[in-house]
Amino acid sequence: MSADTKTIAFVVFPGLTPLDLVGPLQVLGMLEYLRPEEYRVAVVAERIEAYETDAVLKIVPSHTFADVPAPDVVVVPGGATPAFRAMTDETLLGYLREASAHAEITASVCSGSLLLGAAGLMKGRRATTHWTAFELLPEFGIIPVRQRWVEDGPMLTAAGVSAGIDMGLHLVSRLAGDEIARMAQFGTEYDPEPPLGPLDWSSAPREFFAPAAVSWVTDGLAERPELRDRLVAWL
């Protein structure tokens, strides 16, 4: 690995949503496969140990935050209650601030954009997140945009969960060009054909998910009642 090799760091915290992480990781990992002298991928956390997720799956990072203090690209996943709980983790927030200060691109998936907002990195930026948490973006000074992914200077945010794959392909194109991005798309055989067709957002089950969104905030931010109450007011 040369001194010019760019590092893409994927951040792990307890309880994250696996596809938020693994979707773009699989896509951006193609950069390391196709151009190993130019890119390397790292999965980073405070400690190297098995971290619970919100699925029946644990994730073990490859490096600690201290091992990768200044990545060229940092990608932050999201989640439900644990993502809001992570907003109280000063070690994590400190790493996001430090990594973003050095990174060419700071990206997020789902409620990862809210974590970036909690770290003070998104004020005045356009961004998106999972549709159930979309109304919370302005609390962090974020300009909400309903798109699959949103790019604002060095900040790149994706909507919910599977949107991280689309964002990952866009990021490959930005870093290495359309030809490599197409290779990554073929490599992952990403050609979605959902059996029920595309989503009709006018019929989104908002009433079903609304109580869950409130519980994510209230349970996750139990130790930060002021922030908890401000966020709940948006829901």
In the chain, domain spans: 6-232
Stretch 204-216: mean pLDDT: 96
Closest by CA position to 164, among listed 148, 151, 175: 148
Q: Which two tokens stand for residue 57?
A: 């799956």
Tell me what pLDDT residue 3 has: 72
Is-catalytic flag, 11? no
C-alpha distances (whole Å) from 219 to each of 223, 225, 232 are 9, 10, 11
Mean pLDDT (the chain) is: 97
Tell me what pLDDT residue 86 has: 98
Q: Is the pLDDT of residue 152 over 90?
A: yes
Contact 40, 72 (CB under 8 A): no
Within 10 A of 13 (CB to CB), how many other CB atoms are there?
25
Q: What percent of the chain has pLDDT over 90?
A: 98
Q: What's the start-to-end Cα distance of the chain, in Å?
A: 47
Q: Is the pLDDT of residue 234 over 70?
A: yes
Tell me what pLDDT residue 216 has: 97
Q: Could you tell me which CATH class the domain 6-232 is placed in?
A: alpha beta
* pLDDT level of residue 2 (50, 70, 90 thresholds): low
Q: How far apart are CA 234 and CA 215, in angstroms?
A: 13
Stretch 77-86: mean pLDDT: 98
- Give the predicted TM-score (pTM) of the model: 0.96
* pLDDT tens column, 25-72: 999 999 999 999 999 999 999 999 999 999 999 999 999 999 999 999
Q: Which of 41, 110, 115, 116 is catalytic?
A: 110
Q: What percent of the chain has pLDDT over 70?
A: 99
